């Protein structure tokens, strides 16, 4: 069962290959050789509609029981439709892979020919030097020198034909590249699921992939990342139960490169102050954890924050002049393909309040081997300002906003 499907379809898993056909005229190409081999998935709907599908799509399917009436016609025709599948895979995948392999060989042909020529030129020079070396002793009647001299002469005579054969193989090889046989590995009849829980589980799996991609990106940039997408995790990070974002990322950045909001306030310092738990006195509760157990200097400054202050360049306020912390409140949205992103009313409000400190990380193609991450800073200003409450945003709108704001698009 496919929780996201709207109608039944056949899923085929096939093994495709690109081969180098044998050429009996050249000994080096006398045997057929497999150059490329890969698994490919394909969806086939009733009526003959077909489309390629990532092999990883299988991970999002769920086992089912029985055969729904609406799927019986497709099940009966499944075996007869395999020839269509084979022709589709051969034409749209296998032949294209073979052409790519041919083009790679042709594009590098001149370079490889030059490499072969240099190699034989070097060998020719070595043989000439060896012949000079052995000739004097051979003239003196030295038996081993005479044998070595004859061996050198034999190699010199063969060198031209060996060179020509090597170049012939290089030039002939692209012409022998062809798609191999299409071998089906598995077939499945996939039907839509009528259980709402299946769709929820499917969406949860996609969101889990998106969270991993977003967190890995931040950690690769040197950030310390806290997962705050559930009330329990948010409270553990010192935030309210529903902070309006999924990840809290803290990076150390060059102070001279920090971005400032239109009001002049550092955007990195505005990570949702409204969503943090505050004590009755108005002080941030997260910053007062066990304050009595911390060592404080006579001036009232936390002694732990002044470790080796004399060895660091600091501003008059005591802040490190070389670097500072940038906080990102990151809302993560995942999609199996490239469908629209929904921003809830709570997320809309947080994006409105936090502006530059709020980021939207949209992860597309989570059901493929290469999820695609699109990052947008200040999504309220760039995507949501004209809307109120929950809103749908297309993949194209998010990509355009990422390009305009310099947020970025990357593959995981």
Would you state the pLDDT for residue 290?
42
Would you state the pLDDT for residue 24?
85
Would you state the pLDDT for residue 406?
67
pTM of the prediction?
0.53
**How many residues does the structure list for the chain?**
412
In this structure, are residues 281 and 287 in contact, taking their beta carbons and an 8 Å threshold? no
- Stretches where the chain sits below pLDDT 50 are 257-258, 260-319, 321-322
Give the number of other Cβ atoms within 10 Å of residue 152's Cβ: 21
Would you state the pLDDT for residue 77?
79
- For the chain, the farthest-separated pair of C-alpha atoms sits apart, in whole angstroms, at 109
In this structure, are residues 202 and 3 in contact, taking their beta carbons and an 8 Å threshold? yes
Would you state the pLDDT for residue 27?
86
Would you state the pLDDT for residue 228?
94
Q: Which residues of 62-94 are buried (b: 16+ CB within 10 A; e: fewer)?
A: eebeeeeeebeebeeebeebbeebbebbbeebb
Identify which of 26, 383, 53, 61 has the alpha carbon closest to the alpha carbon of residue 205: 61
Domain limits of the chain? 9-108+178-190, 125-176, 196-286+319-411
Helix (H) or strand (E) holding 10: strand 9-20
Q: How far apart are CA 304 and CA 326, in angstroms?
A: 20
Would you state the pLDDT for residue 292?
37
Would you state the pLDDT for residue 276?
43
What's the count of helices (H) and strands (E) in the chain, helices before strands?
A: 10, 13
Identify which of 253, 200, 209 has the alpha carbon closest to the alpha carbon of residue 361: 209
The dihedral of CA 88, 91, 94, 96: what is its sign? negative
DSSP 246-282: SEEEEEEEEGGG--B-TTS-BGGG-S-GGGB-B-TTS
Would you state the pLDDT for residue 309?
38
């Amino acid at each position: 069962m496919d929780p996201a499907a709207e109608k039944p379809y056949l899923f085929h898993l096939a093994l495709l290959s690109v081969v180098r056909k044998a050429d009996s005229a050249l000994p080096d190409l006398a045997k057929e050789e497999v150059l490329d081999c890969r698994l490919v998935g394909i969806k086939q709907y009733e009526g003959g509609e077909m489309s390629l599908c990532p092999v990883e799509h299988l991970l999002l399917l769920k086992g089912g029981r029985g055969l729904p009436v609406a799927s019986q016609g497709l099940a009966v025709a499944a075996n007869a439709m395999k020839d269509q599948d084979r022709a589709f895979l051969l034409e749209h995948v296998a032949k294209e892979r073979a052409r790519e392999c041919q083009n790679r060989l042709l594009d590098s042909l001149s370079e490889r020919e030059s490499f072969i020529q240099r190699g034989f030129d070097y060998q020719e020079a070595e043989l000439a030097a060896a012949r000079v070396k052995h000739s004097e002793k051979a003239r003196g009647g030295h038996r081993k020198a005479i044998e070595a001299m004859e061996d050198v002469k034999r190699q010199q005579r063969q060198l031209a034909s060996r060179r020509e054969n090597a170049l012939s193989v290089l030039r002939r090889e692209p012409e022998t590249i062809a798609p191999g046989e299409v071998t089906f590995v598995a077939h499945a009849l996939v039907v839509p699921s009528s259980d709402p829980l299946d769709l929820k589980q499917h969406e949860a799996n996609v969101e889990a992939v998106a969270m991993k991609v977003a967190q890995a990106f931040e950690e690769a940039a040197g950030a310390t990342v806290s997962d705050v997408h559930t009330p329990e995790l948010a409270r553990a990070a010192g935030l309210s139960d529903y902070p309006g974002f999924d990840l809290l990322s803290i990076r150390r950045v060059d102070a001279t490169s920090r971005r400032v909001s239109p009001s002049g306030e550092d955007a990195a310092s505005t990570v949702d102050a409204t969503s943090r738990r505050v004590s009755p006195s108005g002080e941030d509760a997260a910053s007062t954890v066990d304050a009595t157990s911390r060592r404080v200097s006579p001036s009232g400054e936390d002694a732990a924050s002044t470790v080796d202050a004399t060895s660091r360049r600091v501003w008059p306020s005591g802040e490190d002049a070389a670097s500072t912390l940038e906080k990102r409140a990151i809302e993560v949205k995942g999609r199996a393909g490239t469908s629209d992103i929904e921003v809830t009313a709570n997320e809309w409000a947080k994006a409105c309040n936090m502006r530059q400190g709020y980021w939207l990380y949209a992860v597309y193609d989570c059901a493929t081997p290469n999820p695609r991450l699109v990052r947008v800073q200040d999504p309220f200003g760039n995507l949501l300002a004209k809307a109120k409450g929950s809103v749908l945003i297309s993949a194209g709108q998010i990509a355009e906003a990422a390009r305009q704001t310099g947020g970025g698009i990357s593959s995981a």
